[in-house]
């Protein structure tokens, strides 16, 4: 597929990109979940006093939000990769159907050309009174 700016994209390119995006996203989801488990296992190293409680509350809120955002981004990357892979399959089917239709039309035109002009060599109709 080539757009008006000369960019050439094939279904193989889309499939490869989709696989790469999905794989990277899946890896990122796993990494975020591992980081979350590690941080949760660390406990509260800032102490139980007033300052430690304030730091701990802020830390937990920021960490929870950041990990949710990172995980959401990674999941969207997987979804985008799956979409690109689906697009690749759709483009491939469309390409194959276009080629088949072009071949069918070419064969039909060849059959018409091989048959010659219609009615050649047949007698002319006799006019009636």
- What pLDDT is stored for residue 117 in this prediction? 62
- Residue of higher predicted confidence among 116 and 24: 24
- What pLDDT is stored for residue 2 in this prediction? 56
- What pLDDT is stored for residue 123 in this prediction? 56
Mean pLDDT of 39-56: 87
Q: Which pTM value belongs to this model?
A: 0.66
Q: What is d(CA 3, CA 84) in angstroms, rounded to the nearest whole number?
A: 17
With bands split at pLDDT 50, 70 and 90, how would you rate the model's confidence at 80? Answer: very high
The pLDDT of residue 112 is above 90: no
The pLDDT of residue 11 is above 80: yes
Give the tens place of pLDDT for each residue, 16-34.
989 999 999 999 999 999 9
State how far the alpha carbon of 85 is from the alpha carbons of 19, 30, 66, 107, in Å.
7, 21, 29, 33
- What pLDDT is stored for residue 5 in this prediction? 72
The pLDDT of residue 110 is above 70: yes
- What pLDDT is stored for residue 45 in this prediction? 82
The CB density around residue 114, as the number of other CB atoms within 10 Å, is 7
């Amino acid at each position: 597929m080539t757009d008006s700016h000369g960019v050439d994209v094939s279904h193989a390119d889309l499939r490869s990109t989709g696989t790469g995006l999905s794989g990277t996203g899946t890896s990122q989801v796993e990494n975020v979940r591992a980081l979350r488990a590690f941080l949760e296992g660390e406990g509260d190293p800032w102490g139980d006093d007033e300052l430690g409680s304030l730091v701990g509350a802020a830390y937990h809120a920021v960490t929870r939000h950041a990990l949710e955002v990172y995980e959401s981004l990674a999941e969207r990357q997987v979804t985008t990769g799956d979409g690109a892979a689906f697009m690749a399959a759709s483009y491939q089917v469309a390409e194959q159907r276009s080629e088949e239709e072009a071949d069918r039309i070419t064969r039909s035109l060849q059959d018409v050309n091989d048959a010659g002009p219609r009615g050649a060599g047949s007698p002319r109709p006799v006019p009636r009174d």
